[in-house]
């Protein structure tokens, strides 16, 4: 009889009973093939369940000299055996820098995980992003197509060479739009539609001067009572999240434009059907709310746009990390998601290299 290995199973307790979130295979045999590892401690003041943590490391000499090509990164739980799904966004050997996303089953206070390297290749895994995510775009690709990190395959494309945005380096890779010719679009898909359920959408932006009154960094409807869907409108007067059910539209305001310019800001909008609210957050803090329209916000047949040439609602500025989530992300999650990327040094403690 062959040797037996433990299997990690993560279970959520719900009103109707137990629900298996996902299960992870042990990797002890392969872990032994890696030359080095580092302990990473994640720190929060609240419990985060099934959280995609950004592991951002900069100017680390160990990652310059000991790593093969970044494809050899392996992340495990604190036991050093249970593999955690991860997605590698970028690795720069010359600087010893990396950004990876790791699906951590639970972060409670101080939670340890391990990064193994200098060993067998480990492919990035779409299971890093739980099934509720409709789309996640990091914009790290070198060509004119930007791939969805989830299994939904919602590819954003520049429809003409002139429409392709300029590359930036925020969070490893970002985009910059000129407010006149540059935009992206993805074909319509159920995973991009808000429908009649709860829904959360977010983006990072850096705007110095808006292009017009209603700059739209993302658009899947909204912007008027007959345009079912959702958007962000970041114009010269104020910044809003807008939704429409085809008959009525509502807008929740982040702030006046002058208070939001000249720096990177994470904008999040939550469509909460249970409380019948549209809530908006800037840098993890709630800024406003409105009552939702009663009908469906689904917009089948309409493409998803980043910047919007229709109606000359171009977006001008830097843009990164667009996420769509089918459900409500709560205040604690939104704040820690912001904190994880904006202040990684307060979220992560990187240990010394251990030789194996």
Q: Tens digit of pLDDT for each residue in 124-153? A: 888 999 999 999 999 999 888 999 999 999
- Domain segments of the chain: what residues? 8-126, 133-340
Angle, CA 175 vertex, CA 199 and CA 227 arms, to 5°: 40
E strand or H helix that includes residue 114 = strand 97-117
Query: Does 292 score more than 90 pLDDT?
Result: yes
Mean pLDDT over all residues of the chain?
A: 90
Give residue 256's Cα distance to chain centre.
Answer: 25
pLDDT of 8 above 80? no
Report the predicted TM-score, pTM, of the whole model to 2 decimal places.
0.90
pLDDT at 237: 86
> 3-state DSSP call for residue 94?
coil
Q: So what's the pLDDT on residue 22?
A: 45
Pairwise CA distance, residues 256 & 243, whole Å: 19
Residue 44 clears pLDDT 80, i.e. is over it: yes
Assigned CATH class of 133-340: mainly beta
Q: Tell me the mean pLDDT in the region 348-354.
A: 97
Read off the pLDDT band of 194 (50, 70, 90): very high
Hey, which of 62-66, 119-123, 304-308 has the most confident mean pLDDT?
304-308
Is the per-residue pLDDT at 307 higher than 70? yes
């Amino acid at each position: 009889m062959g040797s037996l290995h433990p299997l990690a199973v993560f279970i959520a307790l719900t009103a109707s009973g137990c629900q298996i979130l996902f299960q992870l295979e042990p990797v002890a045999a392969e872990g032994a093939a890696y030359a080095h590892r580092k302990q990473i401690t994640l720190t929060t003041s609240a419990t985060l369940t099934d959280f995609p943590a950004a592991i951002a490391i900069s100017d680390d000499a160990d990652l310059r000299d000991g790593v093969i090509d970044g494809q050899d990164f392996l992340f495990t739980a604190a036991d050093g055996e249970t593999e955690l799904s991860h997605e590698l966004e970028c690795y720069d050997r010359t600087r010893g820098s990396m950004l990876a996303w790791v699906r951590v089953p639970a972060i409670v206070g101080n939670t340890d995980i391990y990064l193994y390297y200098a060993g067998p290749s480990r492919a990035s895994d779409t299971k890093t992003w739980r099934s509720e995510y409709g789309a996640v775009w990091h914009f790290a690709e070198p060509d004119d197509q930007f791939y969805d990190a989830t299994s939904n395959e919602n590819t954003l494309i520049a429809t003409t060479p002139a429409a392709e945005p300029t590359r930036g380096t925020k969070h490893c890779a970002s985009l910059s739009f000129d407010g006149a010719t540059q935009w992206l679009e993805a074909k319509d898909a159920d995973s991009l539609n808000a429908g009649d359920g709860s829904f959360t959408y977010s983006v990072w932006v850096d705007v110095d001067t808006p292009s017009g009154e209603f700059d739209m960094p993302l658009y899947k409807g909204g912007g008027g009572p007959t345009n079912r869907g959702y958007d962000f409108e970041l114009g010269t007067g104020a910044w809003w999240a807008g939704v429409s059910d085809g008959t009525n539209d509502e807008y929740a305001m982040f702030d006046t434009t002058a208070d939001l310019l000249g720096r990177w800001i994470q904008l999040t909008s939550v469509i909460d059907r249970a409380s019948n609210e549209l809530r908006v957050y800037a840098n993890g803090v709630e800024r406003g709310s409105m009552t939702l329209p009663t009908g469906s916000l689904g917009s089948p047949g309409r493409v998803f746009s980043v910047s919007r040439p229709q109606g000359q609602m171009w977006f001008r500025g830097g843009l990164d990390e667009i996420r769509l989530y089918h459900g409500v992300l709560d205040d604690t999650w939104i704040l820690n998601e912001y904190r994880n990327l904006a202040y990684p040094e307060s979220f992560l403690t990187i240990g010394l290299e251990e030789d194996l």
